[in-house]
C-alpha cells in the first residue's frame, strides 16, 4: 500500500460531452447537428477519459474517415468499442473513495474542520473560533 494516494474523479456529464466532441474531432471525425452527443455522454458515465479517447480512436479509422461524407457518424458505432473498455460502477467507486475521505490528510486541517462542523451541527459552541466568541456589548 502507498503512503499517499491521488484521486482523479471520473468526468461528469458536461466534461464527457466536451471530451467526446474534442476526441472525435481530433481523430478526424465530423459531428453533425443531429448526432446525439448528450446520449453518448450519459452512456459513458463511469468511464475514464482514456476510455473515451480510446473509443473515438478505435471508431475513426482512416477508412471510416474517408466515408464520413457519404455516411455520417452514428451512435451505434461507439457503443461496441466503448463496452470493451473498463467501466467502474458507482458502488466500486464509493469503495475506493471512502477510505480516502475517512482518513484526512495531516496538512489540510480537515480533521479540525470536520470536528468544527459536527460541533456546529450539534449546536455546541466549543467548535467555533475564539474570534467569533467576542462579547456583543462592545
For residue 28, is it within any domain? yes
Instruction: Note whether residue 88 is domain-resident.
Output: no
C-alpha distances (whole Å) from 119 to each of 3, 42, 104 are 30, 39, 17
Mean pLDDT within 83-112: 72
* Average pLDDT value for residue range 80-106: 76
* pLDDT value for 46: 86
* Residue predicted with more confidence, 57 or 95: 57
**Residues 29 and 75 reside in one and the same domain:** yes
Domain with residue 42: its CATH number is 1.10.8
Q: Do 26 and 76 reside in the same domain of the chain?
A: yes
Retrieve residue 30's grid coordinates. Answer: 465530423
Report the alpha-carbon distance of residue 39 to residue 64 in Å, rounded: 21
Query: Looking at residues 118-130, what average pLDDT do you find?
Result: 70
Q: Interhelix angle for 76-83 vs 49-59, to 10°? A: 130
Q: Which pLDDT belongs to residue 127?
A: 46
Same domain, 118 and 62: no
For residue 30, being part of any structural domain is answered with yes
Residue range of the domain that includes 68:
13-83
Q: Do residues 59 and 117 share a domain?
A: no
Stronger pLDDT, 58 or 113, i.e. the higher one = 58
Classify residue 137: in a domain, yes or no: no
Residues 107 and 74 occupy one common structural domain: no
Higher per-residue confidence, 78 vs 90: 78
Neighbours of 56 (CB within 10 A): 24
Contacts of 106 (CB under 8 A, 6+ apart): none
Residue with cell 463496452: 83
pTM comes to 0.66
Segment 34-87, tens digit of pLDDT: 999 999 999 998 899 999 999 999 999 999 999 999 999 999 999 999 999 988
How many structural domains are present in the chain?
A: 2
**Helices assigned H by DSSP within 27-109:** 37-43, 49-59, 62-66, 76-83, 90-102
Say yes or no to pLDDT of 16 above 50: yes
Residue 89 has a pLDDT of 76
* Grid coordinates given for 134: 467576542
Q: Both 48 and 101 in a single domain?
A: no
Q: Is residue 75 part of a domain?
A: yes
**Predicted local confidence at residue 105, as pLDDT:** 58
Amino acid at each position: 500500500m502507498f503512503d499517499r494516494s491521488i484521486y482523479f474523479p471520473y468526468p461528469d456529464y458536461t466534461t464527457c460531452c466536451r471530451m467526446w466532441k474534442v476526441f472525435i474531432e481530433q481523430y478526424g471525425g465530423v459531428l453533425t447537428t443531429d448526432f446525439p452527443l448528450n446520449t453518448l455522454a450519459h452512456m459513458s458515465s463511469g468511464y475514464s477519459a482514456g476510455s473515451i479517447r480510446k473509443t473515438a480512436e478505435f471508431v475513426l479509422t482512416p477508412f471510416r474517415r474517408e466515408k464520413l461524407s457519404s455516411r455520417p457518424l452514428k451512435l451505434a458505432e461507439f457503443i461496441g468499442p466503448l463496452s470493451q473498455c473498463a467501466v467502474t460502477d458507482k458502488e466500486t467507486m464509493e469503495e475506493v473513495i471512502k477510505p480516502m475521505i475517512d482518513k484526512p490528510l495531516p496538512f489540510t486541517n480537515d480533521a479540525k474542520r470536520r470536528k468544527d462542523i459536527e460541533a456546529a451541527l450539534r449546536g455546541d459552541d466549543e467548535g467555533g473560533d475564539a474570534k467569533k466568541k467576542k462579547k456583543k456589548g462592545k
